[in-house]
Amino acid sequence: MFKNDPIGYAIHDFAKDGNADSIIVKADLCEDDVMPVEYLFRSFEEMPELEQLALKKATGKVLDIGAGTGCHSKWLMKKNADVTAIDISQGAVDYMQANGIKAEKKDLWEIDETYDTILLLMNGIGLAGKLNRLESFLKHLQSKLNPGGQILFDSTDISYLYEEEDGSLWVDLNSTYPGEMQFKMCYKDVSTPWFDWLYLDYQTLEKHAKAVGLDCSCILEGESNNYLAQLK
């Protein structure tokens, strides 16, 4: 039932009785991370300030990409927003639909409507995968915006992973962009394949957004090299 769907499996377990093992996030450039499943069920009050601000700025017809349990969509629905949630996890979509959220199992490349606000929270811009795919990724999202529409997302400058003890940066000029990583999600005996993920420093984002005709603004800087961006 949950083949290649560890997120859906974890959501199913936690929704059943409030207990679930943690999700293990394996990465190619750093140590494994542990994500408590209850974090996917967080309330608005438990969200980081970047996410709270993004939700407050969401207007009109909203698309929530990579929605998970739909915690962002749920808050927007309470504010009477017209919101659609999409995710590639069947288990996540089943949970959202069972809880009254308009959700579809869909890849972002399958979006067939246009929206006033597109949300890509929890580093959702990472779905671009690699820097050389970023502009085509942005053009696609741009084509799904209504006139005057916006894309809201957060990302992180991970150059700190390359810092030497003296504060200087070690970067192999022959390597790929330092924000490119690979991840694998695991829950119990279920795992995803390895997948590409992209973290962007703001200057790089601004350059590529401008190249495709999008105005880029940094709305809020976080405390961990992260930021909330708005593209119009």
Whose tokens are 């401008």? That residue is 210
Residue 174 has pLDDT above 70, yes or no: no
Would you list the domain boundaries of the chain? 47-184+195-231
pTM of the predicted protein model = 0.93
Looking at residue 177, its amino acid is Y
**Predicted local distance difference test score (pLDDT) of residue 161:** 64
pLDDT in tens, 123-159: 999 999 999 999 999 999 999 999 999 999 999 998 7
Q: Which of 129, 151, 110 is nearest to 196 (CA)?
A: 129
Are 84 and 114 contacting, i.e. CB atoms less than 8 angstroms apart?
A: no
Q: Return the sign of the alpha-carbon dihedral for residues 34, 40, 42, 48.
A: positive
Protein fold of 47-184+195-231: Rossmann fold (3.40.50)
Residue 69 has pLDDT above 60, yes or no: yes
Q: Which of 36, 37, 33 is nearest to 25 (CA)?
A: 33
